[in-house]
Amino acid sequence: MKKDIPVFDGHNDTLLHLQDGVTSFYESLKDTHIDYYRAKEAGFAGGFFAAYTPSREQEEDRYNYMNENGYKFPLPDRITKEEALGFTHKLAAQLFRIETENPDKFRVVRNVKELKDSIDQGTMAGIFHIEGAECIDLSFDSLYVLYEAGLRSIGPVWSRSNDFGEGVPFCYPSTPDTGGGLTDKGIELIQHCNHLGIMIDTTHLNEKGFWDVAHATTAPIVATHSNVHAICPISRNLTDEQIQEIADSGGVIGINFAVNMLRADGKMETDVSMDEIIAHFRYIADFVGVDHVAFGSDFDGTSIPDILQDVSGTRKVMQALSEDGFTEEELEKIAYKNWVRVLENTWKD
Ligand SMILES: [Zn+2]
């Protein structure tokens, strides 16, 4: 394998670690999966940087909801628009701070040319993504303002419910068909996003919500950080029908490195083999084609396999994909070209 294929990634939560406004992306951040220099060393070309507003109360002890067969965690309460908008501003500001601290090293990209140029020139590229649309008011004014600021991707829900729809709880084993889908305002959100050219992420929607997006949207369907349900039957993963629908739309699935979404037994244990990781890429490539699978690490948002360690693990995954038989051209698609294609067909410029 050529050593230098850049990897563009579908999802990280690294902004949460910068929220104090002091911690810098250019420091050695020992407790995180990503900082600039480790990412650069790993060939990380950038990705979708999520603005996610955490729930107010700390989640209860998860072990209360686990038994020998699996788990079913209750979802946290809704959050208010005000707290979500305030926190989204805080995290978006950290994304812009990464750029202003070192504009020659990192760029917030707003169109396909900027994205392609960044990858070509080795400038790390960040896409402003909102995970859970609680900060968007029901007149959509904030959507238009945030778009002008650089917002180019949005997931209508994180797993907790909001005015736009119901999310999928974390259950194993379970289908993703766990409840109601988008509300009328959720459908309106899709229409506004299509109009502006904001990518819509179906990750964290339940199955009904997924199909509501699929029927409403005019853009390729995307799941930025979800895996294969046929391998790991957790509610967060995608059924074969959903994978087929994403492929038919020209969309893409970013493979999530969350251990409980990779492992067939759904356990939250980090001794996951490289074969178990590669199996999700291979399944989608064999089933619907290599054009529809990419990276969606969830770095800094989840527990990842020990074998990956941190962002440096992306190199190991690329090597393992190569050893699994993916050609150079296929590796380039998985690494970044699939994401670029989807954004070319989604963004307005
Ligand atoms: Zn997520």
Cα dihedral across residues 180, 183, 187, 193: positive or negative = negative
> What average pLDDT does this structure show over 56-74?
78
pLDDT band (50, 70, 90) for residue 56: confident
How far apart are alpha carbons 234 and 242 in whole angstroms? 14
Whole-number Å distance, alpha carbon 94 to ligand 1 midpoint, is 19
In angstroms, what is the span from residue 208 Cα to ligand 1's centroid?
A: 18
Give the number of other CB atoms < 10 A from CB of residue 339.
30
3-state DSSP assignment of residue 237: coil
**Angstrom distance (rounded) from CA 154 to CA 209:** 14
CA 90 to ligand 1 center in whole angstroms: 18
Q: Edge-to-edge strand order for the sheet containing 70-72? A: 66-67, 70-72, 171-172
Compute the distance from residue 157 Cα to the ligand 1 centre, in Å.
9
Of 277, 258, 274, the closest CA to residue 266 belongs to 258
Residue 18 alpha carbon to ligand 1 centre in Å: 18
Query: Are the C-beta atoms of 179 and 212 separated by less than 8 Å?
Result: no
The alpha carbon of 204 and the centre of ligand 1 are apart by a number of angstroms equal to 7
Q: How far is the CA of 131 from the centre of ligand 1 (A)?
A: 7
Q: How far is the CA of 2 from the centre of ligand 1 (A)?
A: 31
Q: How far is the CA of 158 from the centre of ligand 1 (A)?
A: 7
- Per-residue pLDDT band for 58 (boundaries 50, 70, 90) equals low
- The whole-angstrom separation of Cα 293 and Cα 279 is 12
Distance, CA 1 to ligand 1 centroid (Å)?
30
Residue 140 is given by DSSP the state -
Cα–Cα distance between 42 and 314 in angstroms, integer? Answer: 7
pLDDT tens digit string along 221-267?
999 999 999 999 999 999 999 999 999 999 999 999 999 999 999 99
Give 139 Cα–ligand 1 centroid separation in angstroms.
25
Q: What's the CA-to-centroid distance between 236 and ligand 1, angstroms?
A: 10
DSSP 133: G
CA–CA gap between residue 296 and residue 308 (Å, rounded): 14
> If pLDDT is split at 50, 70 and 90, which confidence band does 68 have?
confident
CA 294 to centroid of ligand 1, rounded, Å: 16
Band (69; pLDDT cuts 50, 70, 90)? confident
Using the mean position of ligand 1's atoms as its centre, give its distance from the Cα of residue 76 in Å. 14
CA of 289 from ligand 1 middle (Å) equals 24
Residue 102, φ and ψ in degrees, nearest 5? -155, 70
How many residues are listed for the chain in this entry? 349
- Tell me the CA–centroid distance for residue 302 and ligand 1, in Å: 8
How far is ligand 1, taken at its centre, from the CA of residue 81, in Å?
Answer: 19
**Residue 94 CA, distance from chain mean position:** 18
Higher pLDDT, 245 or 57: 245
Question: Quick one: pLDDT at residue 114?
Answer: 98
Domains of the chain: 7-344 (3.20.20.140)
Query: What distance in angstroms lies between residue 332's CA and the mean position of ligand 1's atoms?
Result: 25
Instruction: Give Cα 329 to chain centroid, integer Å.
Output: 23
Q: In the chain, what percentage of residues exceed pLDDT 70? A: 98
How many angstroms separate the alpha carbon of residue 132 from the centre of ligand 1? 9
